[in-house]
Structure 1
Amino acid sequence: MRAAVLTGFGAPLTVRKVPEPEACGGEVVVEVLATCVLPYTEEVFSGRRNYPLEPPVVPGPGGVGRVVRAGPDATRLRVGDLVWCDPTVRARDNALTPDIMLQGLSSRGEGGARLARHLPDGSFAERMRVPTENVHPLPPEARDDPARWSSLVVYAIPYGGLLAAGLQAGETVLVSGSTGNLGSAAVAMALAMGAGRVVAPGRDRDALGLLSDRFGRRVRTVGLTGDEDTDRAAMTTAAGGPIDVVIDLLPPAAPSAVTRAAAMTVREYGRVVLMGGVGMLGGADLALPYPWLMRNSVTVRGQWLGPRTANVGLIRLVASGALDLSADRIRTFPLDAVNEALAYAAAHGGPFDRTVLTPRVA
């Protein structure tokens, strides 16, 4: 089969023949129909993001495909099934604190790196090998547009964060970083999960306008000035009442003061979830006042990705129409144009822009 291989950081991907993946017990081989190229992928492959990815490797996190082979422990999956492959792989030998990797993109700690060496099969390939528990059947309507459904990898991140926050119907959510690719997905996700109102701050006026046009009165946009006190007051005013949940999805280059301004809008007994990259490239750490946290009983938690069960809920949200993907802008590239896809994704990382690689034709 053919795959795109990252031979070293800073080098272009090379499309070449590689051995066919074989499914052992607890694994499934999937023919990849569509995989989303995240806007920051080029930053990872160049080495600028310093992700713990070990070349040579076939990269690519998750995707939509057809089951080709399944191990003997698969009791429901059948050859030919259309499936979503969740890239969040967890070790099976420690239920309390499992090692984690994001297949084809990143990992956590030495245990995660060992997982990545065992599963170097990313989705930028005609076929990939995936743990059985990471393969989830898709509804029949997904067959009509697998490229659009491959954007589940984007929506899964804020969905995991909002689940971690315990978002309840009718609550007000503030999305820090709402004009970015992940942040705008979080705005859509919060509304799909029943948020009564979403506060969407940002500097990009065009992106803020797009959010207002797409979602109407339930989204309150705020143009940020860069002054922490001014911005915090503006976000609080825009909410028109208590802010129950703050979710931060700002990229690594963002200053921690922007995250702090957003976090400190949350109400007493409110919840703050940190999922972005602030601090990954250096700069000031996020400093939240101890007395404010303690006296207001604020919960702050980090969340990397989401639980396995989130995949089922996410697929149901899309299938029901509660999360509408029809307005997302999709641009597809064949496997041979993988480097062009990386460049396009980097240049089109705005709200609801999706760059998709299609190793196999549906």
Structure 2
Amino acid sequence: MPGAAEAGDHFGSSLRLRDINGNGRADLAVGAFGEDVLPNGYDDGAAWVLRGATTGLTSTYATAFNATDFDYPVVDGRRFAATTPGEFVADLKAIKSRTDAVPYYTNFKDGWPLTAWSNDIGSVTCDAEANDKLAGPVSPWKRGGELSTIDSLLYDIVEGDLSEKDPSTTNWESSKGMIAQGKVATMHLGSWAITQMRDAAEKAGTDPDDIGFMPFPAQKDGTYCAVLASDYQQAVNVHSDEKVAARAWIDWFTEKSGFSAKEGAVPALKSAAMPSTLKDFVDNDVTFLERSEAKTGDVNSIDNAAEIGLTKPDYRQKLVDTARGAQKGNLDDFFADLDKRWNEAAESAGS
């Protein structure tokens, strides 16, 4: 057989029997979507043909093919498939039709993973100030807006029966093993979760590199954007008697602790390299936007007064229940109610 077997090749991921050379004997085409072709390639994909003989299949004269053999460009590195919410939903439908995996796992019961969707505010329009622009009676869920696009995707996934059958039975800790073993295809989480999922893959005896990470499926002028939010915020107390020691600890944590690499976070130190877990983002030229916090206080005040909870799971749990028919209503009415409550709260705050 041409080539050498490597971990992650997924040799046999697709099979097709056909008399390719017309000699009356069936030949076998074997696909390996994880085969690396280019020097720095990742999952470029390739196929092998085993010839049919009088005694059956034989590896003699076996031939290997990849896209470069047909003058078709192979992109160096792994690429994101979906550039729009609609394409992402189509991908989930393909997963459902071709595999036994749950296409999308909501982690509904634990609740807090649903708040990750709010971290996409700004990614849709590539606007670092998108969250600030919610500070007013702006109907955040109007058609075409950031939150309308974000929450419509979640609704469409659930309504399309592309998530678990009973969201009340989801379990966060169990979901790690499920995605590691291919029982779940996708979840919505931050980059901090990559290392946990890859650790789960190692424990399950599967390939950690099968765990990928992609931005929200939307582009602005052909570019993906990802909004950065702070993890730990650190400072030196102006009243401290140990300012030098405190500053030294912050410098150590920022420059030498290895925290960002271990946790899959974008390093605070601008000269530091991105962690390996974000290689796909770097390879795909994802634009990182540091979220503006200029009006976060105003936005939070409106959110609390409207009793919606952008950083809480409640309203998205109701969205999921509406999408699956467990609660009366439809998406348009659901968004209209959110906009009404938001605008009334904003107007009251400004009066």
| Higher radius of gyration, 1 or 2 | 2
> TM-score normalised by the shorter chain: which range applies?
under 0.3
Question: What is the TM-score normalised by the length of structure 1?
Answer: 0.23
TM-score (norm 2): 0.24
